[in-house]
Structure 1
Amino acid sequence: MPRRKKNKFRAREQHRQVPDDSKTQRSDETIALEELPSCSSALEAPSQSVSQTQTSSPSQAWGQDSATIASPGAVDTRSENDEESQDEDVSYSPEDFSDSTSPTVNVDLVEQFLLHKYRMNQTILKEDIEKILGERHQGEYAAILEKAAEHLELVFAIDLKEVDSTKHVYELVSKLKLPNNGRMRAGRGWPRTGLVMNILGFILMKGNCAAEKDVWQFLKVLKVYAGRRHFIYGEPRKFVNNDLVKLKYLEYRQVPGSDPPLYEYLWGPRAHAETSKMKVLHFLAKVADTTPRAFPLQYEEALREERARARGAGRAGTSATARPDSMAPFASYSAH
């Protein structure tokens, strides 16, 4: 029997003690966002992962075999079938999120609402977000939406964009052109782009080539384990070694001369085409709450790549095509 009303967000019940268990059941979005690392935890991770004899600068932290950054890997692992059953026949309205007085709680509620809309591939309307906030928080609309969008960007690598400035319609768009806008399957599902950006970032920090064992050690820190089905990614080894390799986001090759054979990951041609070292570095810097210059070696390398691309574009008599204003990142918009 599909879950309907029981699947509604229970934001208000999180702040109250209600004896009836059926009224305290929470949605996957609520659980996921509670368990995802916050932006501040991304700063704490490097100092926890390095020894006391080392400094905890962002660049050194990324050099460790383990970790560094926040990721959707912190979500509880569940079966793909469980996700499918919970996506079916679920009805939500903005009122399910409303009636909060705390700005922090309002940011969380908007995050949940945006993530649900992404998962269900539904339109995001300004008027629905305003209903969540209620009249008392209308003046904080722009700030709350920006914070919610920023957290989803850091964790899932999806950007909130305004696609219709007249009707104030928004859309969450994957930073990479993964099939289904980054979802696990056509039409609906969790965003997977965050894991791909994390892997690309790890490879960049490892000198553009990362040993297979190092990548999986890194993913363990993000609570993504080979052979263990993940709530978002399915079986992670299949997703990484099969899907991402076939889609050419990653190259998976044997280390030359290794016996017994060892394997390593590099960026694939599609990763080079859809993003750049500078863009990935900016993403990592945002997660670590720092600037790309905090990673000096990678920053200089990214600058060289940007200059080479600019020269190539100049020789071809072309320039980078700007996105239409209607698809600019949300942060570039002022409140309407």
Structure 2
Amino acid sequence: MPRGQKNTLRARQKRHQARGETQGLRGAQATATKGEAFSSSPPPFGATTQRKRGAGSRGAPKRPQRALPTTTVSAGVSRTRSCKGANSKIEKKQSASQALLSAVRSQRDPLSNAACMLVQFLLHRYKVKKPIVKADMLKIISKKYQNRFLEILKRASFSLEVVFGVDLKKVNLPKHSYILVSKMDLPHNGTVSPGKGFPKSGLLLNLLGVIFMKGNCATEEEVWKFLNKMRVYAGKRHFIFGEPKKLITEDLVKLKYLEYRQVPNSDPARYEFLWGPRAHAETSKMRVLEFLAKINHTIPSAFQSWYEEALKDEEERVQATVTLKADTSAVASGSSSVMSSSNSHP
């Protein structure tokens, strides 16, 4: 083969090799990016979390912007919605909640159907403050699947926690009795307003998570972008959360779980959300992070920089408690000394 043709062939082979290496690197980078996205378990609902310099973020490192996955809460809400309007064994015992949460007998996973029915039953018991026992739960599960009761109960418990913000806890081992406990002390069993409705603690905890991950201060636009991922829209009544705009800008603000204020010097006026005093009193950054980690099927430390901030917050809370106890003891000791001194002088 002439030298010119050999040189041309070698050049062509080198170009092909270089192109292959470049493609391989790109593929590796893409794979690494996907791996990081899941291993770091970014925050929920497909929002982006660019760290802002805002209230409560003094000295905190600026976090890179990153895309976040749609999470189980959205799926949980969708599954709960799919429970709407079917026949149920407890149909006669339930109020309007049954029309919203009764299980659909369809081609879907039968265990999911059973879990959906169980969620409906448990919410009803929670609202009417009646005891929850295993024997009653088994009555609403088909005999065909009763041998998988623990798996069904686990699914129902997870949905109750991430969607409604209530925990299922066993209180009597021999009798297999349970209670539902709200993660937040919202009035009217978590429904906020008297009458019909469902617990709102799950939504509140997610809002607190968004605020925390946005630098402890989230703009109204960021909050609605997050809520829209859950198919929750301003001015459109939601089958679980009711009228969401009123709930988050009025009800939860009046209850002091959220602070809703105008962004300084904004024209036209823009608004932002912060944690309210009751949120600080009833929960913590670590507990909210644990909640979000559970939604994303990971551990709190996977949210590395937020985890470090939450740890620091825990340390500050412990120190504040120790200081308060020391001050209280000092005051009590001083009062005791004064009383003793006055008693020694007739």
How does the TM-score come out when normalised to structure 2? 0.63
TM-aligned CA deviation for residue 107 of structure 1: 3.3
TM-aligned CA deviation for residue 164 of structure 1: 4.2
Give the letter aligned to residue 303 of structure 1: L
Q: Secondary structure at 1:162's aligned position in 2?
A: strand
* Rg larger in structure: 2
Supply the distance in 1 between the matched residues of 2:281 and 2:275 (Cα, whole angstroms).
10
2:92 maps to 1:109: no
Work out whether residues 200 and 280 of structure 1, in 8 Å CA contact, stay in contact via their aligned partners in 2.
Answer: yes
Supply the distance in 2 between the matched residues of 1:301 and 1:207 (Cα, whole angstroms).
10
TM-aligned CA deviation for residue 62 of structure 1: 5.2
1:1-336 correspondence to structure 2 within 5 Å: 55=37, 57-59=40-42, 63-64=48-49, 68-69=70-71, 70-71=73-74, 74=78, 87=95, 103-133=111-141, 140-165=148-173, 167-186=175-194, 189-317=197-325
Per-residue Cα deviation, 1:155-191 (whole angstroms, up to 9, x for no partner): 2211012344454332222110000121254365312
Q: Secondary structure at 1:248's aligned position in 2?
A: coil
Supply the distance in 2 between the matched residues of 1:55 and 1:136 (Cα, whole angstroms).
40
Supply the distance in 1 between the matched residues of 2:230 and 2:129 (Cα, whole angstroms).
26
Q: Which stretch shows the higher mean deviation, 196-205 or 255-264?
A: 255-264
Percent identity reads 47
Per-residue Cα deviation, 1:89-112 (whole angstroms, up to 9, x for no partner): 989xxxxx9xxx955544343333
Give the letter aligned to residue 273 of structure 2: Y
Per-residue Cα deviation, 1:284-334 (whole angstroms, up to 9, x for no partner): 00001111111111100000011111122222338xxxxxxxxxxxxxxxx
Supply the distance in 2 between the matched residues of 1:177 and 1:205 (Cα, whole angstroms).
23
Give the letter aligned to residue 186 of structure 1: P
Supply the distance in 1 between the matched residues of 2:98 and 2:221 (Cα, whole angstroms).
40
Q: Secondary structure at 2:188's aligned position in 1?
A: helix
Supply the distance in 1 between the matched residues of 2:134 and 2:117 (Cα, whole angstroms).
14
Work out whether residues 166 and 201 of structure 2, in 8 Å CA contact, stay in contact via their aligned partners in 1.
Answer: yes
Answer 1 or 2: higher relative contact order, Cα 8 Å, separation at least 6.
1
Give the letter aligned to residue 182 of structure 2: S
Supply the distance in 1 between the matched residues of 2:214 and 2:288 (Cα, whole angstroms).
13
Give me the CA root mean square deviation: 3.4
Q: Which runs of 5+ in 1 are unaligned?
A: 1-50, 78-85, 92-96, 319-336
Give the letter aligned to residue 63 of structure 1: T
Work out whether residues 120 and 189 of structure 1, in 8 Å CA contact, stay in contact via their aligned partners in 2.
Answer: no
How does the TM-score come out when normalised to structure 1? 0.65
Q: Which runs of 5+ in 2 are unaligned?
A: 1-32, 51-66, 83-93, 100-104, 327-346
Supply the distance in 1 between the matched residues of 2:169 and 2:226 (Cα, whole angstroms).
31
How many residues in Structure 1 have an aligned counterpart in Structure 2?
252
Distance 1:226 1:304, change over 3 A: same
Supply the distance in 1 between the matched residues of 2:184 and 2:317 (Cα, whole angstroms).
19
Supply the distance in 2 between the matched residues of 1:310 and 1:125 (Cα, whole angstroms).
38
Give the letter aligned to residue 284 of structure 1: L
Per-residue Cα deviation, 1:17-58 (whole angstroms, up to 9, x for no partner): xxxxxxxxxxxxxxxxxxxxxxxxxxxxxxxxxx99x94643
Match of 2:11 in 1: none
Q: Secondary structure at 1:266's aligned position in 2?
A: strand
TM-aligned CA deviation for residue 245 of structure 1: 0.5
Supply the distance in 2 between the matched residues of 1:187 and 1:165 (Cα, whole angstroms).
33
Supply the distance in 2 between the matched residues of 1:250 and 1:59 (Cα, whole angstroms).
23
Distance 1:143 1:196, change over 3 A: same
Q: Secondary structure at 2:198's aligned position in 1?
A: strand
Work out whether residues 120 and 188 of structure 1, in 8 Å CA contact, stay in contact via their aligned partners in 2.
Answer: no
